[in-house]
């Protein structure tokens, strides 16, 4: 899977090796392209990582872009290609994070407020109001949340989302449909409650 | 900005759901509200100033490689020259000529005549005791003799008494530095 080959090649080493190959004349163009990608995509990458519960999402965001830089010269498809590659790397980082957490669970004191498994009641959802719409995403399944965040936060197309998740377009379409139906039910309940 | 959201709603036949659309837009706005500052490593990659540094490093490596190649070529050339007897004899001749030129004060000359050879005797004093050279009587001064002769007082007459015998007492000259004068 993508996550394995990313983990086997440290991003820092790749960047250093590429830095020594900076003699080519398009080095400045590469830096400019990388800067544009960072300006455009870094907020989305950070939000995507935060929504999936990655520890220290800011640091992982930087790692994602370091890994992106080493692969940027080989990217085809301009903006769409860079965007898909960036979120493929971020997706791999999320997969790695959850695998590592499974292998080595961290032992912390239980704090009910910090428990993400908490299911909000209708009253709580109403109380949240407009303050944190992102909390609604925790009422979705993992795959549904993944598909929806890639479409909404990362602004990927259906094909790009399927490519990042490593699933078929039909499977992603099914996931996003269920996620949207769940969200619509929550909103309808909220409106009916008002 | 909202193209993907509208497209997704259209794909699912929910284009007319304004509340769901506004909820998704609010989610996106909230999730992307934080713009992370680039770390130092990322900022270096974003800066074109990184390139000249890399070029300097490459240029330095090239200079080292070029220097090694030149030194290697010189070594090969010197080895080949040393292996040739003609070159050896020519080199010896050249070295002998250089030695002669330097030793004769700049003018190439034939071997030194016997009359100009250094006299290895000290100049006798008025008491008949041999004296030691003054600080001005350093070897090789005045007559262009070949270096290597350590005889002091080269300007002394060849008929001086005590010629050929070393000084009897190593008492220093009155004018020698670091010694008091005793009349």
Please give the Cα distance from B2 to B28 (Å, whole number): 9
* Residue B46 and residue B96 in one domain: yes
B30, A184: Cβ pair inside 8 Å? Answer: no
Alpha carbons within 13 angstroms on the beta-carbon side of residue B101 total: 7
Nearest CA in chain A to B18: A184
Position of tokens 């080095």? A27
Average pLDDT over residues B40-59: 71
Contacts of A43 in chain B (CB under 8 A): 32-36
B66 and B87 belong to one structural domain: yes
The ipTM is 0.71
Residue B55: band (very low, low, confident or very high) from pLDDT cuts 50, 70, 90: low
A65-78 per-position pLDDT tens digit: 999 999 998 887 78
Decide if pLDDT at A161 tops 60: yes
Assess whether pLDDT exceeds 70 at residue A53: yes
Residues B31 and A82: their CA atoms lie apart, in Å, by 20
Nearest to B51 among A28, A38, A134 (CB): A28
Separation CA B44–CA B54 (nearest Å): 12
pLDDT at A16 over 70: no
Specify the residue for token string 């085809």: A76
Q: What is the mean pLDDT of chain B?
A: 65
B13 and B50 inside one domain:
no
A136 or B153: which leads in pLDDT? A136
pLDDT of B181 above 70: no
Q: Are residues B50 and B95 in the same domain?
A: yes
Q: How many residues does chain A have?
A: 194
Residues B57 and B18 in one domain: no
| Strongest mean pLDDT among A20-29, A126-135, A149-158, B79-88 | A149-158
Is residue B163 predicted with pLDDT exceeding 50? no
Whether residue B1 is contained in a domain is answered as: yes
Mean pLDDT lowest for which of A168-172, A190-194, B127-131? B127-131
Q: Which of A108, A120, A115, A84 is nearest to A2 (CA)?
A: A84
User: With bands split at pLDDT 50, 70 and 90, how would you rate the model's confidence at B167?
Assistant: very low
State the average pLDDT over residues B62-67: 78
> Chain A: nearest CA to B34, how far in angstroms?
6
Model confidence at B128, pLDDT cuts 50, 70, 90, reads very low
Q: How many CB atoms lie within 10 A of CB A136?
A: 20
Chain A residue numbers touching B15 (CB-CB < 8 A): none
- Specify whether B85 is located in the same domain as B62: yes
B134 lies in some domain: no
Residue B37 has pLDDT above 80, yes or no: yes
What distance in Å separates residue B66's CA from the closest CA in chain A?
Answer: 18
- B22 and B58 part of one domain: no
CB-side exposure of A26: number of CA atoms within 13 Å? 6
Chain A hits for B46, CB-CB cut-off 8 Å, are 31, 34-35, 38
CATH of domain A118-194: 1.10.10.10
Q: What angle do CA A29, A30, A36 make, to 5 degrees?
A: 90
The reply to whether B90 and B45 lie within a common domain is yes
Contact call for B14 and A173, based on CB within 8 A = no
Q: Which helix (H) or strand (E) holds A192?
A: helix A169-193
Tell me if B155 is assigned to some domain.
no
Rounded to the nearest angstrom, the minimum Cα separation between B100 and chain A is: 55
Q: Is residue B161 in a domain?
A: no
Distances (CA, A) of B35 to A44, A91, A150: 9, 19, 18
Q: Do B20 and A191 touch (CB under 8 A)?
A: no
Residue pLDDT, tens place only, A179-193: 999 999 988 887 777
Q: For A58-105, give the secondary structure using H, E and C.
A: HHHHHHHHHHHHHHHHHCCCHHHHHHHHHHHHHHHHHHHHHHHHHHCC
Q: Which domain holds residue B84?
A: 41-102
Total domain count for chain B?
A: 2
In a domain, B62, yes or no: yes
**Which of A152, A169, A177, A178 has the most B C-beta neighbours within 10 Å, making it the best mutation to test the interface with B?**
A152
B53 and B11 within one domain:
no
Residue B22: how many CB atoms within 10 A of its CB?
A: 15
Model confidence band, residue A17 (pLDDT cutoffs 50, 70, 90): very low
Confidence (pLDDT) at B103? 73
In a domain, B178, yes or no: no
Query: What confidence score (pLDDT) does residue B141 get?
Result: 41
**pLDDT, average across residues A4-33:** 56
Percent of chain B with pLDDT over 70: 47
Subunit contact A176:B48, Cβ cutoff 8 A: no
Chain B residues with a Cβ under 8 Å from any Cβ in chain A: 1, 3-5, 7-9, 11-12, 14, 17, 19-20, 23-24, 26-28, 30-36, 38-39, 41-42, 45-48, 50-51, 54-55, 57-58
Note the pLDDT of residue A27: 75
> Which of B20, B28, B35 is opposite residue A42, by nearest beta carbon?
B35
Are A58 and B46 in contact (CB < 8 Å)? no
Per-residue model confidence (pLDDT) at position B86: 78
Q: Where do the structural domains in chain A lie, given as residue ranges?
A: 1-108, 118-194
Mean pLDDT of chain A: 80
Do B46 and B98 reside in the same domain of the chain?
A: yes
pLDDT at A3: 43
B47 and B93 both lie in a single domain: yes
What confidence category does residue B152 fall into, taking pLDDT thresholds of 50, 70 and 90? very low
List CB contacts of A166: < 8 A, sequence separation 6 or more.
Answer: A1, A2
Q: What is the mean pLDDT of residues B46-54?
A: 64
More confident residue, A141 or A24: A141
Residues B69 and B92 reside in one and the same domain? yes
Q: Do A20 and B54 touch (CB under 8 A)?
A: yes
User: Which chain B residues are within 8 Å of A89, Cβ to Cβ?
Assistant: none
Q: Which of A23, A31, A134 is nearest residue B46 as measured by Cβ atoms?
A: A31
CA B61 centroid distance within chain: 20
């Amino acid at each position: 899977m993508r996550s394995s080959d990313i983990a086997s090649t440290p991003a820092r080493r790749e960047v250093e090796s590429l830095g020594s190959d900076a003699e080519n004349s398009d080095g400045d163009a590469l830096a400019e392209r990388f800067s544009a990608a960072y300006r455009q995509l870094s907020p989305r990458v950070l939000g995507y990582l935060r929504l999936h519960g990655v520890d220290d999402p800011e640091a992982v965001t930087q790692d994602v872009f370091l890994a992106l830089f080493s692969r940027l010269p080989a990217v085809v498809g301009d903006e769409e290609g860079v965007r898909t590659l960036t979120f493929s790397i971020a997706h791999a980082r999320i997969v790695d994070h959850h695998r590592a957490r499974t292998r080595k669970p961290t032992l912390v004191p239980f704090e009910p407020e910090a428990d993400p498994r908490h299911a909000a009641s209708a009253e709580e959802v109403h109380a949240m109001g407009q303050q944190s719409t992102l909390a609604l995403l925790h009422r979705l399944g993992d795959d549904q949340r993944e598909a929806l965040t890639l479409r909404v936060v990362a602004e990927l197309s259906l094909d790009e989302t399927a490519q990042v998740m490593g699933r078929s377009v039909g499977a992603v379409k099914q996931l996003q449909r269920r996620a949207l139906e769940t969200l619509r039910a929550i909103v309808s309940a909220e409106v009916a409650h008002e | 900005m909202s193209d993907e959201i509208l497209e997704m709603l259209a794909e699912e036949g929910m284009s007319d759901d304004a509340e769901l659309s506004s909820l998704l837009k609010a989610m996106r706005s909230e999730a992307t509200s934080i713009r992370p500052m680039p770390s130092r490593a990322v900022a270096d990659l974003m800066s074109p100033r990184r390139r000249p540094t890399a070029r300097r490093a490459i240029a330095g490596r090239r200079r080292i490689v070029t220097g090694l190649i030149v030194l290697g070529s010189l070594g090969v050339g010197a080895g080949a020259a040393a292996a040739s007897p003609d070159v050896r004899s020519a080199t010896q001749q050249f070295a002998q000529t250089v030695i002669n030129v330097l030793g004769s004060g700049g003018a190439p000359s034939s071997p030194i005549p016997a009359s100009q050879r250094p006299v290895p005797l000290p100049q006798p004093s008025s008491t008949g005791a041999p004296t030691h050279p003054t600080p001005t009587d350093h070897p090789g001064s005045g007559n262009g003799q070949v270096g290597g002769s350590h005889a002091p007082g080269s300007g002394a007459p060849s008929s001086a008494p005590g010629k050929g015998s070393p000084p009897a007492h190593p008492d220093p000259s009155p004018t020698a530095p670091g010694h008091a004068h005793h009349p």
